[in-house]
Structure 1
C-alpha cells in the first residue's frame, strides 16, 4: 500500500517537483545586420526541459536596458502555449548597443512548496558589434552578472557568472541549470532534468553547456520579503535568472 501511495503522489505532484524557471529569450541573441533588427522577445514561466508551461500573469514590469538606460515595454501581447498565457513583445534594435531584456513577474504561489516564487529574469543581446557592457549590473534586486561573455557561445562552452542579491555577492547558494528542450531530448532519469551548481565564497559559479540552444540559470535566494495569503504569511523564493544561447 505504501508503494502505491508513493506512486500516486508522484503522478499527482510530479510536475511541481521539476524546477520552475522564468524565461526571457529572444529570436536572435546576436544581431549584425539591419535586416535582422526586428526581434521577438518571449516571456514565459515554465519547466523548460519538460516543455511544461505554466500560466504567467502579466508581469509587473518588462523592458530593456540599452547601455544601462531603461526602456519599459507597453506592447506586450498574450501568446498562448498549451492554452496557458505567455507574453511576447516586438522590438527593433536601432543602434549599436548592449541590450538587456528583463522581466519582473508577479509572485506565484506554489502550494507544493508552501511559498511564493518570483524569478527576476533577463537575457542579453549584442547588436551591431557593440561588444561592451555585458558584465554591467542592472541594479535589480537579484541578478546574475556574467563572467563569461553571455552571447556568441559555442555548444560545449563553459559559462561562469556571479550572483548578486541586493547589491552584494550571494555565497553558497544553489544555482539550478536547465535546457530549454525543444529537441525532444530524453533524460536518463529525473535527476538529470535540472542540474545544480553552488556559488563559492565569492558568489561565483561555472557550468559547461553540452547542447546547442537556450540554457537557463536560476540562482535561488530566500528573500527578505514575505507575502500574506489567506491570513497566513509565506516566504518568497527570489530567483536571479539569466538565459544564454549556444550554437553548434
Structure 2
C-alpha cells in the first residue's frame, strides 16, 4: 500500500510540479465513479458504478460502505442522488467486494459533476482511515457549464482542462484545494483504469495495460497548489491528492482525507 503523508509537510514540492515524478511504495487505492461514456447524446438515466479498487493493477477491491453523500451539480444546482444507490457485489480479478450502483438523470445540455463522499475506510495494513472525496464528469450536448468550478468540498481538485475530452498525448492540469485554499506540496497519485468494469456483470475485464515498475505514479503540487501531468494514453485517468483535506482523525485514528478527480482522454482520429 502507498505510504501517505500530509500535504503540508511536503516542503520539497515547492519546486515545479509540471515534470516532477516520485515513485510510491505500491499501487494505490482509488475510489471509482465509473460510467462507460462521459459524452451523452440523448436525455436519459446514465448508469454509474461506485467501486473502491486498485484499477491500474486490476488488483484488490475493498468493501465500500454506503456513501455519506452522492449527488450531482448541473448548472450550479445540486441534486441529491443517494436514494438511487443500490448495493452490488463487484467481482475483481482476485476477490469480491461490496460496491454501489446508481443512475444519473441527464436531461438538459451541459456538464454534470458527480460527487461521491464515501464513508471512511479502515486500512488495517496502515492502521489509518481513508476517505476519498471524488468528482467525475458527464457532459450532454458539448455545452460547457460547470466543469471549471470548485464545488465547495472539504478538499477537491479543480480541473484546468475540460475533463471530459482530454487529448491523449496532451497534458492535464488541476489545482488542489482544502477548504477552498490551494494546497502546496500535495502528493498526487495518478491511476489509469486498465480494466474498465463490465457494467452488466459487475466485474472486472481483461486489462489493456500493465502497471509501471516502481509502484504508483506520483506528482507533487507546486507553491500554487497546481500540478500538470502528460496524458500518454486514451481512457480514464484518476488523480488523488493524498491527505489534502482538513479532517485528519476518525474514531481515534489517523484519517487520510483525499481529493479524487476522474477525467476521460481520447485519441485523435
TM-score (norm: length of structure 2): 0.79
User: Per-residue CA shift, 1:199-244, capped at 9, x if unaligned?
Assistant: 000000000111211111000125434122xxxx211101100001
1:107 corresponds, among 117, 120, 134, to 120
2:225 corresponds, among 203, 216, 226, to 203
| Larger helix fraction of residues | 1
**Cα offset for 1:18?**
2.5
Q: CA RMSD in A?
A: 1.7
Q: CA 1:98–1:174 in 2, change beyond 3 Å: closer, same or farther?
A: same
Contact 2:155/2:177, CA 8 A, preserved across alignment: yes
* Alignment match, 2:209: 185
* Alignment match, 2:250: 227
Choose between structure 1 and 2 for higher RCO, CA contacts under 8 A separated by at least 6 residues.
2
| Larger strand fraction of residues | 1
Could you list the runs of 5+ residues in structure 2 that have no partner in the other structure?
1-24, 196-206
CA distance in 2, matches of 1:181, 1:125: 20
Q: Indicate whether 1:29 and 2:38 are aligned.
A: yes
Q: Segments of 4+ in structure 1 off by > 3 A? A: 222-225
1:18-97 → structure 2 map (5 Å cutoff): 18-34=27-43, 37-52=44-59, 53-73=61-81, 74-82=83-91, 83-97=96-110
* Alignment match, 1:129: 142
The total of aligned residue pairs comes to 225
TM-score (norm: length of structure 1): 0.85
1:164-183 → structure 2 map (5 Å cutoff): 164-182=177-195, 183=207
Larger Rg: 1
